[in-house]
Structure 1
Amino acid sequence: MASSKNVVFDVVGTLVSYDQVFAAIDTQLGDRLRAEGIKPQLLGNAWIDTAEREYTNLSLSGKYTIFAEVSRAVFYRVLWMAGIAEPRAFASSEDLELIMQGFDSLTMRPGAVECVQKLRDAGFTVWAFTAGDRTRVGAYFQTAGIELSSENLLSCDSDGVGKPEPAAYRPLLERLLAKNEGKPPWFAAAHMWDVSAARRTGFKGAYCTVLEKEPLQELFGEMDVIEDTLPAMVDRIIAIQASD
């Protein structure tokens, strides 16, 4: 029998950290970047943020493009914006491909495996909704020893609508409302823009500060749960659901 309690996780940035991408940038370009006064992690965050913005803009304009293509395409633009006068002389195409491989080796954050198990022990069904490639993202769970069926791993690529467009969340919300006896399911993320959009669409929202530190509720609105660690966030979800 399907569970009437459901939690949907964002994956990359939430359950999975970007550390391997930052390490790949450091390995390939670290000395060159530091000589320009640029920290590799700062460049990495600027790159990911720019890629997310352009991925969203393309989707909004009706030209959905998979995230890996967007991130590869904007890399040299970000170097230029960081003050590198000749980006393609600064970093070779081989450098970029080796850095892109960092996305293939991303690993779960501390506490991620624990929080998935906590939810399952409490009778929740766990879902994952990503802007990434389903095969690559599915491998993150397999490597961590987390069983997740293909039915419970969804990607924006399938419908060609990117988060945070409301239309990206709505089909899954409607599906889970039926399973959840009409009660709102949970959406959990470490991107405030993501969980706040899901909450405005109709999910309950749980936010973890592990990635962004600052919730910025004055911009994104209230949350049902805000915690600093993934296990603490999950404990609050379980407690609130039990009291409903």
Structure 2
Amino acid sequence: MVVNKNVVFDVVGTLAGYERFFEAIDNTLGDRLRKEGIKPKVFGFLWTEVASREYTYQSMSGSYTPGNKTFPALFYRILWQCGIENPREFANDKDLAAIMEGHSDMRMRDGAAECVKKLRDAGFTVWGLTMDNRETVAGYFERSGIDMPRENLHSCDSTGIGKPDPRAYQPLLERLSKEGGTPWFAAAHQWDSTAARRTGYKGAYCTVFEGIALPDIFGEMEVVAETLPEMADKIIAMSN
């Protein structure tokens, strides 16, 4: 049996955590949000989730809009949807700029560097497939001291097709499958892992972001782990 030693990671939310982004929201709008009964982290989570949905729907409808354009454009709408009647009186573009600076300064999760090292030490090549801007995401790796060759980091922006469309996963899958075997796709978004798995990858899912695996909805995975290093260990074990 040919063992394919390639692992493709989702990056934002999987290897990179949202802590810097949530901190920027709290530092900029925290007191104002709490007065309205809105937890800053919940606001940030809602914003990221709605942005992912709108990005995906735009892609599905044939009007791909890059994530770095979609995300800030939704700021005032999310405030309104949280019950802020006059969002542009509640916050301003300076607030948005401060928050987006935190978003651009996100760092890798605890255990991300160990996860990547374990896989590379075991002979795996690590790749990234992100819905976000390639250069912004490359900065997350650089600031966290994790070497990620630019040629191994791919963005949906290059094809204009967003995940979880099967066509977003296929180009890299085809490239990495040429020598035989099946590459892995690893994510902390279960919808992402299962979509890649249906496209032809082996699926690895880490609950570090979503907390609870839902196999009744998303199906079974080859690997499910609570931490990134544990996920690496299980991928290695299943490939030996």
* Length-normalised TM-score, structure 2: 0.97
Q: In the TM superposition, what is the alpha-carbon distance from 1:150 to its structure 2 partner?
A: 1.4
- Structure 2 runs not aligned, ≥5 long: none
Name segments (4+ residues, structure 1) moved above 2 Å: none
Which of 199, 203, 208 lines up with 2:201 in the alignment? 203
Deviation track 1:39-61 (CA, whole Å, cap 9, x = no partner) reads: 00000000000000000000000
Structure 1 match to 2:49: 49
* Length-normalised TM-score, structure 1: 0.96
Alignment of 1:1-244 (within 5 A): 4-179=4-179, 181=180, 183-242=181-240
Secondary structure of the residue aligned to 2:74 is helix
- In structure 1, what is the Cα distance between the partners aligned to 2:166 and 2:237? 27
Q: In the TM superposition, what is the alpha-carbon distance from 1:70 to its structure 2 partner?
A: 0.6
Count of aligned residue pairs for this structure pair: 238
Q: Indicate conservation of the 8 Å contact 2:129/2:156, yes or no.
A: yes
Q: In the TM superposition, what is the alpha-carbon distance from 1:63 to its structure 2 partner?
A: 0.7
Q: In the TM superposition, what is the alpha-carbon distance from 1:217 to its structure 2 partner?
A: 1.5
Q: In the TM superposition, what is the alpha-carbon distance from 1:144 to its structure 2 partner?
A: 1.7
Q: Which moved more, 1:146-155 or 1:110-119?
A: 146-155
- In structure 1, what is the Cα distance between the partners aligned to 2:201 and 2:167? 13
Q: In the TM superposition, what is the alpha-carbon distance from 1:148 to its structure 2 partner?
A: 1.4
Deviation track 1:66-125 (CA, whole Å, cap 9, x = no partner) reads: 101111111111111111111111111110111111122100100100110100000000
- In structure 2, what is the Cα distance between the partners aligned to 1:28 and 1:230? 31
Q: Indicate conservation of the 8 Å contact 2:72/2:100, yes or no.
A: yes
- In structure 1, what is the Cα distance between the partners aligned to 2:213 and 2:51? 21
- In structure 1, what is the Cα distance between the partners aligned to 2:139 and 2:73? 24
- Structure 1 runs not aligned, ≥5 long: none
The letter of the residue matching 1:209 is T
Q: Indicate conservation of the 8 Å contact 2:4/2:182, yes or no.
A: no
The letter of the residue matching 2:205 is Y
Q: In the TM superposition, what is the alpha-carbon distance from 1:4 to its structure 2 partner?
A: 4.0
The letter of the residue matching 2:132 is G
